[in-house]
Amino acid sequence: MTFRASHLLGIEHLHSTEITTLLDLADQYAEDNRKGRAHRDVLEGLTQINMFFENSTRTQASFEIAGKRLGADVMNMAMQASSIKKGETLIDTALTLNAMRPDLLVVRHPHSGAVDLLAQKVNCAVLNAGDGRHEHPTQALLDALTIRRAKGRLHRLSIAICGDVAHSRVARSNIMLLGKMENRVRLVGPPTLLPAGVEEFGVEVFSDMREGLKDVDVVMMLRLQKERMDGGFIPSEREYFHRYGLDAEKLSHAKPDAIVMHPGPMNRGVEIDGSIADDINRSVIQEQVEMGVAVRMAAMDLLARNLGASRRAKTLGVMV
């Protein structure tokens, strides 16, 4: 088998063959989901705990549906109502949960690196559902599957990731994944919203939307992540929409068959015009949500297959 990981913490440590293995399996799950076929024996008898320390609609729902479709016992912890903070208390939480013997732990946390830390303390497979501005691997994988299905391939495509890249874990994971699969990635946005040292990522950078979108195959829009901003990064939302919001005119600079993506939640009239988001000939935003369930099914299936080996290795003190 070409999927060796025992956790899914980020795209950074995945090999391109592991990405392809996961996407191929997710593709099969996507087809079965459309036919209404469940695979309840795959995670039968396993316990999945979802711990979301940050707001989520689609990611949490998607992980829950994916687990249930594969037959896992799924439990959602209401983390936001608790007074848990990072550091020792996070580790204490991890140890408490670990004592309950879960098999799969799905974690979203506002601090970059928190999920990796937690993974070191537990004896089960950990899936990162987004940590701070660091990584959001299942989002990048579902984006990749959506692109592959729409374009028929996942290499040598020109992809523009636009908007608030600086605060976006979605952008980071996507830049790594699309780079590993040998695509050309462009980052487009105001200089204040592009991370420092961005050139090191092997991407092209544009501050003008029309130039940045010229002849691209895929336009990926990002939400302005105000909850991660500690000052004024843009003059006003109106001005931002005027310069960087995706509308029909700006999109006309991309290839005529370019697809439009957005991880959600969307701010219509800020980073994207509502009519573009709803245009079924261009927008694949709903397909992204659909592929999210399939990708999470595939990820949990593959990690569950590796569980026995990684638990044995941990007992023996071997690093996996």
- Contacts for 311 with CB less than 8 Å, ≥ 6 apart: 123, 124
- Is the CB of residue 228 less than 8 Å from the CB of residue 134? no
**Binding of residue 136 to ligand NCD (CB under 6 A):** yes
What's the closest the beta carbon of residue 134 comes to ligand NCD, in angstroms?
A: 10
Told to check if 139 binds ligand NCD by CB under 6 A, we report yes
Tokens of 126: 């950990």
Q: Contacting ligand NCD (CB under 6 A), which of 148, 223, 253, 282?
A: 223
CA distance 44 to 172: 34
Nearest to residue 5, comparing CAs of 22, 30, 28, 24? 22
Smallest gap from residue 62 Cβ to ligand NCD (A): 9
- Other CB atoms within a 10 A radius of the CB of residue 61 amount to 15
Among 264, 268, 279, 311, binds ligand NCD (CB under 6 A): 264
3-class SS shares of the chain: helix, strand, coil, % to 5? 45, 15, 40
Query: Which 166-195 residues touch ligand NCD, going by CB under 6 A?
Result: 169-170
What does the alpha-carbon distance between residue 107 and residue 7 come to, in Å, rounded to a whole number? Answer: 11
Selected from 112, 201, 225, 229, the binder of ligand NCD by CB under 6 A is 225
Minimum distance from CB of 138 to ligand NCD (Å)? 8
**Cβ nearer to ligand NCD, comparing 12 with 24:** 12
**Looking only at residues 31 through 90 of this chain, which bind ligand NCD when binding is defined by CB under 6 A?**
58-59
Q: Is 282 in the site for ligand NCD (CB under 6 A)?
A: no
Footprint on this chain of ligand NCD (rule: CB under 6 A): 58-59, 130, 136, 139, 169-170, 223, 225, 263-264
